[in-house]
Structure 1
Amino acid sequence: MRLTKNPLLLAALVLAVLAAAAALWSGTSWYAAAQDSDADFARSRDDAVSAARQGVQNLNTLDYRKIDEGLANWEESATGALLEQLKGGRDAFKKSVGEAKTVTTAKVFSAALTELNEREGKANVMVAVRITVTPAEGKPQAKQSRMLGELTRTPDGWKLSALAQAPVGNTGSPAGN
């Protein structure tokens, strides 16, 4: 039987060839994407930003009624010198917050990496956050803040290794000088 005499057989053969070509292209594209170092870099960047957002929120949230839980969240979000600083001041801070009976909450508005060194497992981040402090008596007070942080990749993921307020105001020289 000749293909030209049976149009259904010819159509089936053409469809089979097209399906094989599509499967080959799809498999090759998937393999290339899986091996792409840019994808790994983007994944690492996204993981670091996510950890920074959560870490800054954790380190700026504390309820005196759940102080041990809050301080445990702080320590879970930190590593290195920052973690040691948190552990070293834990008792004094616990006493201070317990006496003041404050509830502090944070909401992160945005976060961006300013530097990522994938090879060394280090990153720098800037985070915009609103921190609301509710005293035992009185109205909640909210302030917006920019924070600069350093992240270090650990076996448990990215964690904050330093955190500080970003400088505010004119830090450069005046225009025209």
Structure 2
Amino acid sequence: MARVRTTKNPLVVAAIVLTALAAGSAARGGWSWYEAGHDDSAGYGQTRDDALAAGEQAVQNLNTLDHQKLDQGLDSWEDSTTGDLHQQLVDGRSGFEKQIQEAKTVSTAKVLSGAVTELDDRTGKASVMVALRITVTAPRGKPAVKESRMLGRLTRTSEGWKLSALGQAPVGNTAG
């Protein structure tokens, strides 16, 4: 009968235990990494972030217009939209041009905050709420500054998320 040799050296025992713990930790870490890479929630989170970034930019674009760069501004409006909203902007372009050229105003918008309020990744629809600070500068007088909350509806297109509807968010207590 063969005799199994055992050691009573505490350093060897500690080394074996630490090696086993390290191997277990590495295996657990590898499994967690694999699961995270194959988890649908990470993809959903990225979709939400993409929709929010596009929504904030589009709302900012539609609240920014300089009478000296009118074609560039109106092109930005059209590039930021899709569907009925896009068609309304295209159809009303000459009217917008006339109004802005007569008023000689410059409006700039800065996004203060934004949030995705609804997201359906399957159908490519999302809703956002965006808070803005809008500054309108006329040829004479001081710039007028106001803060506004906008509600936008987004549709995913082959070019990315675009605004398909935009409106003012209700302010104050609207409960009857």
* TM-score, normalising length: structure 1: 0.84
Report the residue type matching 2:143 in the other structure: P
Q: 1:21, CA displacement in angstroms?
A: 4.7
Query: Are residue 136 (structure 1) and residue 142 (structure 2) matched?
Result: no
Q: Which residue pairs with 1:80 in the alignment?
A: 83
CA distance in structure 1 between the aligned counterparts of 2:73 and 2:51, rounded to whole angstroms: 22
Query: RMSD of aligned C-alpha atoms?
Result: 2.4
- Residue from 62, 65, 69 that aligns with 1:62: 65
Q: 1:128, CA displacement in angstroms?
A: 1.1
CA distance in structure 1 between the aligned counterparts of 2:19 and 2:74, rounded to whole angstroms: 62
Q: What percentage of aligned pairs have identical amino acids? A: 60
Q: Give structure 1 stretches of 5+ with no counterpart.
A: none
Deviations, residues 13-40 of structure 1 (Å, cap 9, x unaligned):
8887666555543332222112111111
Q: Please, which moves more after superposition, 164-173 or 107-116?
A: 164-173
Q: Please, which moves more after superposition, 118-127 or 20-29?
A: 20-29
- Residue from 81, 94, 99 that aligns with 1:96: 99
Q: Which residue pairs with 1:164 in the alignment?
A: 167
Q: 1:53, CA displacement in angstroms?
A: 0.9
Query: Are residue 50 (structure 1) and residue 49 (structure 2) matched?
Result: no
Which of the two has higher C-alpha Rg?
A: 2
Report the residue type matching 1:129 in the other structure: L
The 1:169–1:15 alpha-carbon spacing in structure 2 relative to 1, beyond 3 Å, is closer
Q: How many residues align?
A: 173
Q: 1:132, CA displacement in angstroms?
A: 0.9
Q: Give structure 2 stretches of 5+ with no counterpart.
A: none
Query: Are residue 33 (structure 1) and residue 36 (structure 2) matched?
Result: yes
The 1:12–1:57 alpha-carbon spacing in structure 2 relative to 1, beyond 3 Å, is same
Q: Please, which moves more after superposition, 15-24 or 162-171?
A: 15-24
CA distance in structure 2 between the aligned counterparts of 1:97 and 1:170, rounded to whole angstroms: 34
Pairing 1:2-21 to 2, within 5 Å after superposition: 21=24
